[in-house]
Amino acid sequence: MKSSLFIVVDGIDGSGKSEIVKMLHNYLFSKNKRYRILTTREPTHGRYGNKIRKMLRLEKNPRSSREKIAELFIKDRQEHLKNIIGPFLKKSGNNELNIVICDRYYYSTIAFQGAQGLNIKTLIGKNKGFKKPDIAFVLDSEPSIALKRIAGREKEKFEQLEFMKKIRENFLKLPKLLKDNIRIIDSDKSLNEVFNDVKKEVDKILT
């Protein structure tokens, strides 16, 4: 019997990650009393994560600072795994299953900083030592639809149509480039339909 499960939800801005993470958490929480669940996200609220957030908020040109941002994301991820994800997955309770649901992971670093012009193979190399999720969902939305969904939010560095198209293309290339268990989920459908597709895959792993 598995004692831990590491799930990642990734995709472009406005693809529905936050909503799906919430729905998945609620679903798993009520599905089985043996499940201990942690939801978490990248960038984190740690020292490197906070630097990244600040840069994304203040910088307006999507192509700038690519080396710096990639480096900060790698450092943030190291800390995230060491301090938060790793310890939670390792806790051994009485017959419990530890589940981490993570909103964004190295797939984003590869897709975003790849779209900024860094070499995709190099980015993959920099991330290859990190723990692989048991399953990773890439929520795939048409960038124009995703942008409309987040129209009310303050625009961040990467939230421009042409740039988001490149990011999306990179996400879609990932299953061929990585040996990870990646599922591309069409997230232009209704939230309930998207969640249903995700739930089916998670249920398969849990049975």
Ligand X SMILES: Nc1ncnc2c1ncn2[C@@H]1O[C@H](COP(=O)(O)OP(=O)(O)O)[C@@H](O)[C@H]1O
In angstroms, what is the minimal distance from the CB of 1 to ligand X? 32
Minimum distance from CB of 17 to Mg ion (Å)?
Answer: 5
Residues in the chain: 207
Which one of 150, 177, 178, 184 is in contact with ligand X (CB under 6 A)? 150
Amino acid (one-letter) located at 137: F
- Quote the CA–CA distance of 18 and 84 in Å, as a whole number: 19
Binding residue for ligand X, selected from 110, 182, 194, 198, defined by CB under 6 A: 194
**187 part of the interface to ligand X, by CB under 6 A:** yes
Task: Please identify which residue in 2, 3, 18, 82 interacts with Mg ion, judged by CB under 5 A.
Answer: 18
C-alpha dist (Å) from residue 140 to 10, 12, 57, 170: 9, 7, 24, 11
Kindly tell me which residue out of 30, 92, 95, 190 binds ligand X, with binding defined by CB under 6 A. 190
- Least distance (Å) between residue 11 CB and ligand X: 6
Q: CB-wise, 25 or 31, nearer to Mg ion?
A: 25
Question: For residues 41 and 189, which CB has a smaller minimum distance to Mg ion in the complex?
Answer: 41
206 Cβ partners below 8 Å, 6+ apart? 5, 31
Residue 114 lies near ligand X (rule: CB under 6 A): no
As beta bridge partners, residue 140 has 186
Instruction: Report the C-alpha gap between 137 and 126 in whole angstroms.
Output: 21
- Structural Rg of the chain based on CA atoms: 17
Comparing CB distances to ligand X, the nearer of 135 and 138 is: 138
For residues 91-112, one letter each, b for 16 or more C-beta atoms within 10 angstroms of the residue's C-beta and e for the rest, the string is: eeeeeebbbbbbbbbbbbbbbb
Instruction: Please report how close the Cβ of residue 45 comes to ligand X at its closest, in angstroms.
Output: 16
In this structure, the strands spanning 182-186 and 35-41 are unpaired
156's tokens: 């961040």
Residue 17 makes contact with ligand X by CB under 6 A: yes
Which of the listed partners (ligand X, Mg ion, none) does 79 bind, with a CB threshold of 5 to 8 Å by partner kind? none
Name which position in 19, 71, 142, 156 contacts ligand X (CB under 6 A).
Answer: 19
List contacts with Mg ion (CB under 5 A): 17-18
List contacts with ligand X (CB under 6 A): 11, 13-19, 149-150, 187, 190-191, 194
